[in-house]
Amino acid sequence: MKVESAQSKSSLVMYESRVYRCLSGGVGIPKVHWYGVGEPHNILVTDLQSPTIQNLFLSMDEFGSELLLALAKEILDRIEYVHSKDFIYTDVKPENFAFGKEFGLKTGLKLHITDFGLAKRYTYPKTKQHIAIRHKTGFKSLSPFASHRARQGFEQSRRDDLEAIGNMMMYIQYRELPMNFQWMDINPGVDKLASPDLWLSQLPSAFMPYLKYTQSLRFEDKPNYNLAWELLRSAIIEANQFKFVIDWTIHLLSKRTTKRTSSSLKQMKLNDPED
């Protein structure tokens, strides 16, 4: 549930309810149960979402490759759907991807994408023409996973959402961000000196092919989401090739398998004709 003052000049809650309406029906899009004014507040009520990727990140020492791959695929699928409805998300971060109330071994892994207060159209509704690129003069706080161009103050498009996904997956993989991500705001005084090649050279090599692809896209380009997935999948596999981590889901399943195997062995021993 989101609540804001009904006296707000520009209602983010009202705007977000409209975005949810445009996206309704998609996999992983929370259902809006109610939006309205309950004096003195504007109120938006959606499906209960818990836990988030950030909750899981803080409760686990390390993620295994299978879980990382599953998360990456779900995140890409959610963002691709948002793009298909002519919106960009612009707020990729672990707190905004949640597992939903039905989360469990039986239902499998299905991420929900939440918090559309910063989402915006990248096309004009009437003409479907792509918006024009521009350099912003007024800078607002950004997600620490924002793309290189967004940090330089440029208008965002679909390519920036994909780059932000790569940055977030690096954070989940290595449990920290590289030093060139250590400021929260747009910093044109610093970032304008960093070319894309210099920026990439400071990032983990496993993720460079994926991030090079996202940075090669022009402002209006539609990403190749299948290629993006293959590059991100390869990055995660390479980053984990020398690690041995038992995925929490696999670990739980293996416990059940071990119990069944132990029970079967006991039964075999009892039925052994040579005893």
Write the pLDDT tens digit of every residue in 40-76: 877 788 887 778 999 989 988 888 888 999 999 999 9
Two structure tokens written together for 186: 């747009």
Does CATH number 3.40.50.720 belong to domain 53-97+129-239?
A: no
Where exactly does CATH 3.30.200.20 map onto the chain?
Answer: 2-46
> CATH fold of 2-46, please?
Phosphorylase Kinase; domain 1 (3.30.200)
Specify whether 247 is catalytic: no
Average pLDDT score, the chain:
80
Would the CA dihedral through 131, 135, 139, 143 be positive or negative?
positive
Tens digit of pLDDT for each residue in 126-144? 999 999 998 875 556 678 8
Query: Higher model confidence: residue 250 or residue 199?
Result: 199
Options 47, 61, 91, 247, the catalytic residue: 91
- Residue 249 burial by Cβ neighbours in a 10 Å radius (0-12, 13-18, 19+): middle
Report the DSSP beta bridge partners of residue 38. 41
What is residue 218's three-state secondary structure? coil
| Sheet (strand 2-5) strand order | 2-5, 41-46, 32-38
- Reported as a pLDDT band with limits 50, 70 and 90, residue 242 is low
Where exactly does CATH 1.10.510.10 map onto the chain?
Answer: 53-97+129-239
pLDDT of residue 111: 92
Contact predicate 192/135, CB 8 Å: no
